[in-house]
Structure formats: C-alpha cells, structure tokens
Structure 1
Amino acid sequence: MERTTRVGNRLLAALPPADFALLAPHLRKVPLERDAVLVRSGDWIDQLYFPCSGAIAFIMGLPNGQTVATAVIGNESAVGLMSAISPSRSPMTAVVRVPGTALQIPPARFHAALGRSPAIADAVQILTRSMLAQFQHVAACNALHSVEARLSRWLLHIHDLSDGGDLVPLTQETLSELLGVRRTTVTHVVRALRASRALRSNRRGQLEIDRPRLEAAACECYKVMSRRIDRIVSGGAERDYTAPAGDDRQRPASPLARAAS
C-alpha cells in the first residue's frame, strides 16, 4: 500500500524497483481535468496514461450518435496500453469523468522497456485481463438488468474512484452517455432513486448518494465485478521475479493463472 501511495498507479507500483526504473525517467505527471478527452475513437494513440487518481470512462459510440460506457477505470488500470505492443488506433473514446492525475508516457518509450522486462509484460497481461473482466460484466449487466440497477452500479463504481465524500461529480448528460439512454430516462431513474433515498440530492453537476441504500438498489454485478478485478490486479504484486531464469520450480505461476475467472 505504501508504494502504491508513492507511485500512485497500482500497476506501476507492483513492478519491482529495477523494472519501474526502466519507465521512471520517461513518466510525466499530468492533471486529468473533468470532461477532458484523452483519446478519441479512431485516433492513433500517442500517449499512455496510468491514472493515479480520478476516474476515466471508455465510451463506445455508434453511427447513429448513441453512446454507452463499456468500462470505467481508475488507478488500477491504464489508457492506451495495448498500443505499446503494436501501434494502433483507439477503438473507444476515453473521457475523464472524475478529475485527478496520471502518469503519462509515450508508447515508444513504454515499448522499449517492455522488451526488457517480464514484469512489465505481465502488467500488460494483467491490465488486459482486468479490462476483459469489466467488459464482460458490463455487457451482461446491460442485457439483463434494469436501468435503475445499472445506474446504481456505475455510481458505486465511480464513487469508489472519487475522494469527494458522498458527492459524485456527474451530470445527467454524463449519466445518459454512460448508460446509453435518453436524458428523459435518466431523469426518471434519478427521481426513483431519490424517492428511495439512495440519492439524497441532485445538485447541478453532482449527485449526493446514500451508499448503503445505493448498494441495495444496485445489481449483484457491482460487487462481483469489483472483487474479480481487484483479485486480478492484486495478484500482480505477488509474483517472484527473483527466481533464476529457466527455473520453473522456483518461479510461481503468473498472477493471471491464479486470478479468479
């Protein structure tokens, strides 16, 4: 926990010091301003971001203009990491929803370190698995659960990544984008959550939540998804990279193999 606090990002904090040192000279701390677009769908990824605080939503847009969130990440994840393996265009738009800070690095610099470090390669795999877990849960939740339950799930998840007490800094327009529904639907659902007192107030640009009541309104996806992703990411800190090369008996299995499926 101490190193996570110092480094800020859990993926980077889990790296052995020598491996982190390959990246450290090229990392630059940058602010994440609310509503800032880090990369747009279809654009080439020219910077990687490792959030230290705040929340970033991955938004999928359709040709008819509709949008829906496929994931929301914080300091357990990264933006654009797959482009470090091969230059690529972003399949989604990444938007800051809760302000914070991130460590930024050019993909070429990250790729150079990746080729020299099994630990950094593992971090890429861990991120891939955690993102896939969230994509799977969100897809299932969107298909099976009510808008009210889905909104409660997103609010809890974003609240976990915020440091504003019981206030979640989201507008109804943002909620509409996250959920893939019209603003009139969001207004109706927010009204229902206020009636159940899961939401205490709906200020301009902020929602005040009652967390126990909001957890009761959310579907089981919130707790299941949170636990699964935490196991995947936390497992990355347990691997022993000191075993001699080629000695599989002394080298534990990859954290990905141990992570719950």
Structure 2
Amino acid sequence: MEVYSEKQQITVALEAVKAKNLSVGFVPTMGALHQGHLELVRKALLENDQVVVSIFVNPTQFDNKEDLEKYPRTLETDVNLLKEVHPNRIMVYAPSVTDVYEDELKSQHFDFDGLEHEMEGKFRSGHFDGVGTIVKRLFEIVKPDNAYFGEKDFQQLAIIKKMVEKHDIPVNIVPCIIYREMNGLAMSSRNARLKPEYKEAAPFIYKTLTAAKAKFGTESAVEVMEWVEKQFYTHDLLKLEYFIIADEDTLKTVTKKIEFKKYRAFIAVYADDIRLIDNIALN
C-alpha cells in the first residue's frame, strides 16, 4: 500500500491510474479510523477500481483550538487497518498542513444557500467554510469519480453536495448510512476519548432519537422537541446542546408538518467535554 505525503506524488500516481481508464473512489477522513470509515472504504472498493483515502486533520474547520490539539493522530494504525481491508487497491494521502494549504492557512468563504447557518453553523463559527475549503482542495488534487461521505454528518453531506453543484465539480457524491456500535451509539473517532461512565451513558442519545421518531408519527414537531429537551434536562451525565427536527432539503427547523416532505431529527450532546452528534430520518 502506497502512502503519499505530497500532492505532487499522488497526482502522478493517479494520472497513471486514469491513463488506464480506471475509476477512482475517494474517502476523505481525519484519521483515527474506525469501522464506520472502513465500511465507507469497502463500499468505495465495490464501486471503483482504485480507492484513495485521505488522512488529514484539517485545522480550518476547528473553532476550538484545544479540540484540534486533542484530536487523535494515529497514522500507522490507520494504514494497518486499511491494509486489512485491501492491500493493493487503496492509496493513502496523508499530507502536511503546508502541502495542502501552502503559505495560506485560511478558509475560502462559501455561500451554501443558507445550509451553513442551521444547526452546527449556529454553534461552530467558520466550521463549514473550513469543511468546504479542504474538501474542494482534496477534490482538486484527487479528481475522483465518486466520493463517499457518512450520513452521521448529514449537514456536512448536504453542504458538500451544494458545493459540488454550485462550483460545477465533476464528482458523484455517494451518501452512506450511519454505522453504529452494538449499543446504537454512532461510530465516531471521538468515542475513543469517552471516559467509561460516559461511554456507558452515550447510547441514551440514539435511544432518545428512536423514541422521538416514534412520537413524530402522532405528535407535532414542537411537542417532540420539547419532550427530548426534558429527557436530557434530568440526565446526570449528558448535556443537550440542541435537538431539532428539520426539513431534509433546507435543514430549517420545522414547526408544522407538511405532507410528502422529508424530515430528520438532529442532535448534539456533550458527554463531559466530548461533543457527540447524531441524526435519524423520521419518515
């Protein structure tokens, strides 16, 4: 398995792949790989001749410097996990900050038609400009046919789709289902940082989401949102940052259900100092 640290190296390698008319799938990650990431890679392998996995902790999408510093960096372990998935058909691009950003470590400003102002955008200043900047640069370097993103970061997925559409980037975005632990907790690199008591408490998030989905069938969106807030109000360990029910297309909070519209519940919770997000389709 080849691991490239410079964009010039991987560009040359990918030009050789494309010269053979082979398709390229791309899975962008920040490393600390878990089974959720590996399932994205497996799907990409099924649908493409060659797969590129980027491993890069992107500084411009962190609004909290401490969170950036604490983010796990486990390149050797990540590469070994990818070798187990497939030793030959995966390339790893693990660049330095300088290789990606050169002399200008700042985000490009994007207009995502308002998607960036909902949910995460209200709590994480500049986050989606950082996401848009790094994903656009990676697309320019890798030039994939297909790119794979998990639905756990549903808002991010919607924003990347919007960026591809508005900037006319020739890549097919493939959404992938949320992969969960046996107890329902959405898989995340952050889960490894949970203290034992918080790890034990965290499945309450998905349990509450599934209960909210059941309630949404008979109760109004406002009633369901109020119910969820009450569940966390009395919880000893988990602190609710937000729970909303939103229109899947606009991500705007719903107050009244409209027939034939698709709705999704979104949640962000603090388990000690670890921020966990999740979501669930409601209809």
TM bracket (short chain):
under 0.3
TM-score, normalising length: structure 2: 0.25
